[in-house]
Structure 1
Amino acid sequence: MEKPLLVTDFLDRARRYYGDREAIVATTGDRYTYDEFGARADGFAAALADRGIEKGDRVAVLDPNTHYHLEAAYGIMQLGAVHTPLNYRLVPDDFEYILEDAGVDAIYADYEHAEKIEAVRDEVPTETFVTNDTDAVDGDWESFDELVDTDETFERPKMDENDVITINYTSGTTGDPKGVCRTHRTETLHAYIVSLHQEIRDDDVYLWTLPMFHVNGWGHIFAVTGMGATHVCTRGVDAGGIFEAIRTEDVTYLCGAPTVLNMLVDYYERHDVATTGDRDVRIATAGSAPPEAVIRAVEDDFGWYLKHVYGATETGPLITTSDARRFFEDGSDARFAVKKRQGLGYLGTEVRVVDEDGTDVPEDDATLGEVVVRGNQVMDRYWNKPEATEEAFTDRIEGYYHTGDLATVDENGMIAIRDRKKDIIISGGENISSIELEDTLYEHDAVADVAVIPAPSSEWGETPKAFVVPTSGDPDEPGTDVDELVSFTRAHLATYKAVSKVEFVESLPTTATGKVQKYELRQREWDEEDRMIGEG
């Protein structure tokens, strides 16, 4: 028989079987069972319905990893409305674009971030504004807690597994941010394979160090909930707080970008701190591989088990894993060669590395090709961008999503990312557009020409570096300085996007047609590295 795959099933299952069990440890110190979590999600759904929100309407959530985000997300989805999580590190102009582009009808925003929405309130189509602390927010906002404390009910509409249920916006690395449309089906099947590959169980205690807005927290708002496990919420990443939560809440599972691992290792080396509670801990990290020394510290010193996974907003996100234990023995140095690779495709996921003609590259671990993927967790489309959707699925080979990452394949079929096709910088797990940074720097009077590339960083893996041709024409007398240009980008963009390194040059390397050869600049910066992307 066939049963529709709906994301509402995850909380429904948890309420049915784990209703009286702890679901959420909130940042406020409150604790909620699955019955209580569900009741608050119901209350939010009823409040939205009372304000005219219907199936298909977009509702945004701007929140760090608190219980409010989980309750809002499920409240939205129970109406068949489209959960649209926002990156809280963006600036008001970014939010204006996204709210307008998605046609957002209502928004819940945490009190620490609501001012960024208030600043563009009159410029967006949004009509309903909700926050978790009205006293801390200027403007006319409704209280989340008051809204959910209600006896009002709502009618769950009939939903189809191919309905769009969430839109995750990319970081705008090649122009304006794109809304990645994910359906009930793609979210559900991704959560199924995440539950399997990440070994999520009902007795897991999951620590939220990974942003919930980031493609729905790598699918964990679904997988952890559906399995009836416990969410431990946070208001940001703090190394000491992570270790304390692991001990006091007996955390068994968490995720973190390589930069988070670096932070934890540094804190551990400077403090006498316990790294586990009563149970074993496993951690997933994604993207560029952590250095071998970091993997060794996490596994040998912390006593944790590390899984290296890979994907993109458009792909679920997760499509590969290095957790292939038949290729290494726990505790042996052979594991590093495996765990530094992005690895093997998830179940039901076809991951290929192809050349310009769409032909698979040889498994020699030397020939570069682009990673393309086909799987049930891959996005449905980009919101209102049919041409970008078409290109993403047809560039080198028909019917596969093209990641823009360049990789090699070894004799076991395991991929390793070596470079990027797109002008993307990934610093501390955040995607940064070199084009956006260049456009911003061009606005400075002292900048005549500029190229921005990723440069190696021991702290962030890679960091934006700008090569600037000054208007004066003299790199020794540029008419500005590094600090001024860094401050200029910080004033115009989200702080994590700002350049951190600047080099003044007489000219930029170009092709015969005048196109800047960023590859030449990157080669120079990464000369002593074994790849052209960051590890950290």
Structure 2
Amino acid sequence: MEVPLLVTDFLDRARKYYGDEEAIVATTGERFTYEEFGDRADRLSTVLQDRGIEKGDRVAVLDPNTHYQLESAYGIMQLGAVHTPLNYRLTPEDYEYLLSDSGTKAIIADYEYADKIEAIRDEVPTEIFITNDADEVEGDWEDFDDLIADVEPDYERPEMSEDDVITINYTSGTTGDPKGVMRTHRTESLHAQLVTIHHEITDDDVYLWTLPMFHVNGWGHIYAITGMGAKHVCTRGVDAEEIFQQINDEDVSFLCCAPTVLSMLDEYYEENDVSTEGDNPMRVTAAGAAPPESVIRTVEETFGWHFRQLYGATETGPLIGTSATRRLIDEDSEERFALKKRQGIAPLATEIEVVDDDGNEVPWDDESIGEILVRGNQVMEGYWEKPEETDEAFNDKREGWFHTGDLAVVNEKGMLSIQDREKDIIISGGENISSIELEDTLFDHEAVADVAVIPSPSEKWGETPKAFVVPSNDDPQNPPVSEDELTEFTRERLAGYKVVHRVEFVNSLPKTATGKIQKYELQEQEWDEEESMVGQG
């Protein structure tokens, strides 16, 4: 029997079997059962449909981890419209590009971020503007709660195919403009099932949202936690005191986070007398650059949590590697911390190979470096309206495989360990930052004659951008601009997490005979005291 895989099935199942069970603990203090969650999503579907939103229309959501994001996601997808979550840390200019590129017809924005949309609303194709607190927002915005209170939940759900695009998640724009990653009902459904299996999610789990929901749909937890009938605990940001408080008050059992969150919790624990668990045992998954082994040791031995590392990308769901391999890691061995920080092995129904420049798999000797390629049902449909980029991503070294651009070695058990990156990506606190974008920004300053930006090691963030600047007067000892002035220059033009805080003035940059900057030399110099040229935090 073949039954279409649809993302709407997740909330439908939860309502059918867990309707009276608590589904969401909201940041407002409100609590919603699955039936109440579903009713609010239905009413939003009605509101959007009454305003002309149809199957295939893009509807953007700009929201931190609140119940409005969850309700919006399902309210949009129930119409067959395309859920397009946006990073809430960007600038108005970024949103102008994203809304225009996707052709977004409606946006639902949190009151704290709506002003960024208001600043560019006349420049984008968006026609419908909804916020969760219209009284706090300048301009002509409709109020989410008022709208759903005024309608009955009687929308008409269209017929949908598992091959229909249902979400567009934008990359961080690390090699130029951000690309819209198209994901279908099928890819989202299967990646959520993989998350459920490999994160061992059950119906009695209590999941604390620290990972942004806009981030590849929160690694699938918008679907997985919902579909299993487990509980969402929402947050408006990442605060160590609040995380520990929620863990104890709500008996949290599971959270996913950037490695910097674990370092933050470690620091807070050292200075405060806090309980690390409620009534439920805790487990945690980190992604991006792995945290230091000392942090993993603290998480497991001091906090008493079970740790695992995840590897992936927006294009891949993201799950394409996990260290949740209990039979491959001896829990009584001292080497377990080094193994748990590796990017791990492929999940079910997924193929990973690390290949050389000719597309041949490298030996599993933990020394031979190659690019990570992946095939699996959770891999994207392609890039939104970018066929050439899509073709290159799937057919560069080997036809029909997604090329990650990440370089890794593989140990004798098949566990990945990322060593470096083919693309000029800086991963700071779990966020991808484009060195090209930073260089272009700094080049706009009249005192900058030449510049190269690379990742620099940071105890707090794992990596932070550092700019090597050739000053316009060719005198690095007395440049016509200060480091602080260049930092402020980037702050005025870029999202906060992209700001360049480290600047080194130099006479020249290392270049090839054709004039290409050899960033590898700068990276070797910057990371000379580190174990690898990948951030460990």
Q: TM-score, normalising length from structure 2?
A: 0.99
State the Cα deviation string for residues 199-258 of structure 1 (Å, max 9, x = none).
Answer: 000000000000000000011000000000000000000000000000000000001111
Q: Are residues 1:221 and 2:222 paired? A: yes
Q: Residue 152 of structure 1: CA displacement?
A: 4.8
Matched residue type, 1:108: I
Q: Aligned partner of 2:386: which letter?
A: K
Identity %: 70
Question: Residues of 2 paired with 1:273 and 1:168: CA distance?
Answer: 37
> How many residues were matched structurally?
536
Distance 1:531 1:402 in 2: 22
Corresponding residue for residue 432 of structure 1:
433
Give the secondary-structure state (helix, strand or coil) at the position aligned to 1:373: strand
Q: Distance in 2 between matches of 1:515 and 1:270?
A: 47
Distance across 2 between alignment mates of 1:396 and 1:212: 33
Q: What is the distance in 2 between the residues matched to 1:197 and 1:412?
A: 18
1:507-526 correspondence to structure 2 within 5 Å = 507-526=508-527
User: In structure 2, what is the equivalent of residue 58 of structure 1?
Assistant: 58
Report the secondary structure of 2:189's partner residue.
helix
Deviations 1:269-328 (A, max 9, x none): 010100000110000001211111000000000000001010000000111111111122
Letter in 2 for 1:50: D
Q: Distance in 1 between matches of 2:466 and 2:113?
A: 28
Query: Aligned AA for 2:27?
Result: T
Q: Residue type matched to 1:228 in 2?
A: G
Structure 1 residue 285 corresponds to structure 2 residue 281: no
Q: Tell me if the contact between 2:424 and 2:434 (Cα under 8 Å) persists in the aligned partners.
A: yes
Structure 1: distance between partners of 2:433 and 2:252: 31
Aligned partner of 2:458 in structure 1 is: 457
The one-letter amino acid of 1:534's match is G
The residue number in structure 2 matching 1:132 is 132
Q: Deviations over 1:54-95 (max 9, x none)?
A: 000000000000000000000000000000000000000000
Cα root mean square deviation, aligned: 0.6
Aligned mates of 1:403, 1:388 — CA distance in 2 = 13
For 1:175, the equivalent position in structure 2 comes to 176
Unpaired runs of at least 5, structure 2: none
Deviation of 1:394 after TM superposition, in Å, equals: 0.8
- Secondary structure of the equivalent of 2:460? coil
**Which residue identity lines up with residue 191 of structure 1 in the other structure?**
A
1:257 matched to 2:258? The reply is yes
Task: Measure the CA separation in 1 of the matches of 2:485 and 2:42.
Answer: 50
Alignment of structure 1 residues 16-415 onto 2, 5 Å: 16-149=16-149, 150-415=151-416
Give the secondary-structure state (helix, strand or coil) at the position aligned to 2:320.
Answer: strand
Contact 2:39 2:153 in 1 (8 A): no
Structure 1 CA distance for aligned equivalents of residues 384 and 302 of structure 2: 45
> 1:393 is paired with a residue of what secondary structure?
helix
In the TM superposition, residue 330 of structure 1 has moved relative to its aligned partner by 2.4
Determine helix, strand or coil for the equivalent of 1:275. Answer: coil
Give the AA of the match of 1:520.
E
Q: Quote the Cα distance in structure 2 between the aligned partners of 1:264 and 1:303.
A: 13
Deviation, structure 1 residue 512 = 0.8
Kindly provide the amino acid, as one letter, of the partner of residue 530 in structure 1: E
Which secondary structure does the structure 1 equivalent of 2:492 belong to?
A: helix
| Letter aligned with residue 113 of structure 1 | Y
Matched to 1:107, the amino acid is I
- Counterpart of 1:405 in 2: which secondary structure? strand
Where 1:327 maps in the other structure, the secondary structure is: coil
The code of the aligned residue for 2:129 comes to: F
Distance 2:482 2:406 in 1: 34
Q: Residue 135 of structure 1 aligns to a residue in which SS? A: helix
Q: In 1, distance between residues paired with 2:188 and 2:354?
A: 25
Question: For structure 1, which segment, 496-505 or 321-330, has the greater mean C-alpha deviation from structure 2 after superposition?
Answer: 321-330
Letter in 2 for 1:161: E
Q: Residue 451 of structure 2 contacts residue 470 of structure 2 at CA under 8 Å; is this kept in 1?
A: yes
* Farther-moved stretch of structure 1 (437-446 vs 521-530): 521-530
CA–CA distance in structure 1, aligned partners of residues 253 and 333 of structure 2:
23
Q: For residue 202 of structure 1, what is the amino acid of its counterpart? A: D
Matching residue's letter, 2:426: I
- Deviation string 1:366-389 (CA, Å, 9 cap, x unpaired) is 111000100000000000000000
Cα deviation for residue 329 of structure 1 reads 2.8
Q: How far apart are the structure 2 equivalents of 1:227 and 1:60?
A: 26
In the TM superposition, residue 333 of structure 1 has moved relative to its aligned partner by: 1.4
Rounded to whole Å, the distance in 1 between the matches of 2:60 and 2:416 is 36
Aligned mates of 1:36, 1:427 — CA distance in 2 = 38
Counterpart code for 1:511 = T
- What stretches of structure 1 move > 6 A for 4+ residues in a row? none
Distance 1:195 1:503 in 2: 46
Question: For residues 320 and 170 of structure 1, what CA distance do their matches in structure 2 show?
Answer: 19
**Residues 205, 253 of structure 2: 8 Å contact kept:** yes
1:332 shift after superposition: 3.1
Q: Which amino acid aligns with 1:381?
A: G
1:482 aligned partner, one-letter code = E
Change (3 A) 1:235 1:331: farther
CA distance 1:428–1:121, change in 2 (3 Å): same
Give, in whole Å, the separation in 1 of the partners of 2:400 and 2:320.
Answer: 16
Query: Contact conserved, 2:308 with 2:341, CA < 8 A, in 1?
Result: no
Check whether the contact 2:64–2:237 (CA below 8 A) recurs between aligned residues: yes
Q: Offset of 1:331 from its aligned partner?
A: 4.4
Q: Which amino acid aligns with 1:471?
A: S
Tell me, what secondary structure is at the counterpart of 2:464?
strand
1: distance between equivalents of 2:315 and 2:138? 35
The whole-number CA distance in structure 1 between the counterparts of 2:92 and 2:299 is 38
SS of 2:432's partner is: strand
CA distance in 2, matches of 1:439, 1:51: 41
Matched residues in 1 for 2:244 and 2:476: separation? 47
The CA distance in 2 between the partners of 1:405 and 1:368, in whole Å, is 10
Distance 1:500 1:10 in 2: 43
AA matched with 1:21: E
